[in-house]
C-alpha cells in the first residue's frame, strides 16, 4: 500500500516533536524533515543535529524519515558557488549515513543582479550550467545511494513541467529525479496538463507533493484540504499508478489556520483514494 508522508512544512513554526507525534496519531508512515522551530536545515551541521534528534524522536514512534528538504542546489556558471556545492555534497553523505533515501531540493541559478532565473527567461547557456553542475553532483548521489528529487517550484528555472523534464532527462541516472508538486505546477503555469505531465515524466518521478489549490482571477488560494480545489487527486493518483510510481505520497499544507485539521482530513481522504485505486 502507498505510504503517506507528512511534509514538515505543514508544521512550520512548531517543534519537531509535535509534528512527529501528530504524524503518528494521524496514521502517516513518516515525515519529510523540514526546518521546525527547534531545528535549522540551512547548513550541513544543522542537518546532522536535526537527523540525530529526528532519530531519537521518530524511532520510538515507528516513523520513517522518508526525505529531507535541503535547498538550494546551487548552480554555478563558472564554479562561483563551489562552497555551496560542497555543502550540498556533504548533505548527501550525511543522509546516507542516516539512511534517508531522498534529498528534496530546488535549484538556484542566479542572474548577475542576484535574482533567480525562471524558465520563461532561461537561455540555452543557463540549461548548460545546470547540466554541468548536476554532472558533478550525480556521481556523489550514486555513490551514497541518495536520490536527488528536484521540486517543481515557482521562481525557479524548473517552474514548469517542460523545464523540469528537460533538466532531469539530460542525465541517465536513477539518482536524479523530479519531485512533482501538482499545486505548484498550476500556480506557475495555469494551463499545465497534470495527467499528461505525469505520463511524460514516467520513471523520472522520484517523489511527489500532494496539496491542492484554487486558482483565482488574481492569484490563488491554498487554504484548502486536498479533497477540495482545482486538482482531481483521484485522476492524479490513478496516473501515478499507471506510471508505476512507488514512492511515498508526501502530503503538505501551505495555508493558514490549524494544521492538525488539514493533516487529519488529508490523510483520511487519501487513504480512501489509495484503497479505491489499489495503490
- Report all structural domains of the chain as residue ranges with CATH numbers, in order of start: 4-277 (3.20.20.150)
Which pLDDT value is given to residue 161?
Answer: 97
Return the C-alpha cell found at 42: 540551512
Per residue in 157-216, pLDDT (tens digit) is 999 999 999 999 999 999 999 999 999 999 999 999 999 999 999 999 999 999 999 999
Q: In the prediction, which pLDDT does 269 show?
A: 98
Residues 6+ positions from 198 with CB-CB distance below 8 Å: 180, 205, 236, 239, 240, 243
CA torsion 108-109-114-119 (nearest 10°) is -100
Could you tell me which residues are beta bridge partners of residue 33? 68
H/E stretch holding 149? strand 147-151
**Per-residue model confidence (pLDDT) at position 142:** 98
Dihedral of alpha carbons 12, 155, 139, 136, sign: negative
Which residues of the chain fall below pLDDT 50?
Answer: none
Amino acid at each position: 500500500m502507498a505510504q503517506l508522508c507528512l511534509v514538515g512544512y505543514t508544521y512550520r513554526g512548531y517543534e519537531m516533536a509535535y509534528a512527529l507525534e501528530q504524524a503518528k496519531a494521524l496514521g502517516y508512515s513518516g515525515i519529510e524533515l523540514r526546518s521546525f522551530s527547534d531545528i535549522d536545515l540551512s547548513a550541513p551541521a544543522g542537518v546532522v543535529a536535526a537527523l540525530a534528534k529526528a532519530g531519537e524522536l521518530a524511532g520510538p514512534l515507528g516513523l520513517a524519515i522518508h526525505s529531507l528538504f535541503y535547498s538550494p542546489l546551487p548552480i554555478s556558471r563558472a564554479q562561483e558557488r563551489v562552497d555551496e556545492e560542497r555543502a550540498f555534497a556533504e548533505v548527501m553523505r550525511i543522509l546516507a549515513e542516516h539512511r534517508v533515501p531522498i534529498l528534496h531540493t530546488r535549484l538556484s541559478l542566479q542572474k548577475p543582479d542576484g535574482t533567480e532565473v525562471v524558465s520563461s527567461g532561461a537561455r540555452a547557456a543557463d540549461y548548460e550550467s545546470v547540466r554541468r553542475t548536476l554532472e558533478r553532483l550525480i556521481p556523489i548521489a550514486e555513490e551514497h545511494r541518495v536520490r536527488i528529487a528536484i521540486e517543481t517550484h515557482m521562481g525557479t528555472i524548473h517552474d514548469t513541467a517542460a523545464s523540469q523534464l528537460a533538466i532531469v532527462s539530460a542525465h541517465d541516472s536513477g539518482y536524479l529525479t523530479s519531485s512533482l508538486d501538482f499545486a505548484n505546477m498550476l500556480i506557475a503555469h495555469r494551463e499545465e496538463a497534470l495527467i499528461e505531465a505525469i505520463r511524460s515524466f514516467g520513471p523520472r518521478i522520484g517523489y511527489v507533493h500532494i496539496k491542492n489549490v484554487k486558482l483565482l482571477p488574481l492569484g490563488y488560494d491554498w487554504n484548502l484540504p486536498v479533497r477540495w480545489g482545482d486538482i482531481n487527486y483521484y485522476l492524479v493518483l490513478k496516473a501515478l499508478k499507471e506510471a508505476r510510481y512507488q514512492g511515498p505520497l508526501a502530503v503538505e499544507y501551505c495555508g493558514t489556520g490549524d494544521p492538525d485539521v488539514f493533516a487529519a482530513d488529508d490523510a483520511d481522504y487519501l487513504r480512501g483514494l489509495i484503497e479505491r485505486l489499489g495503490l
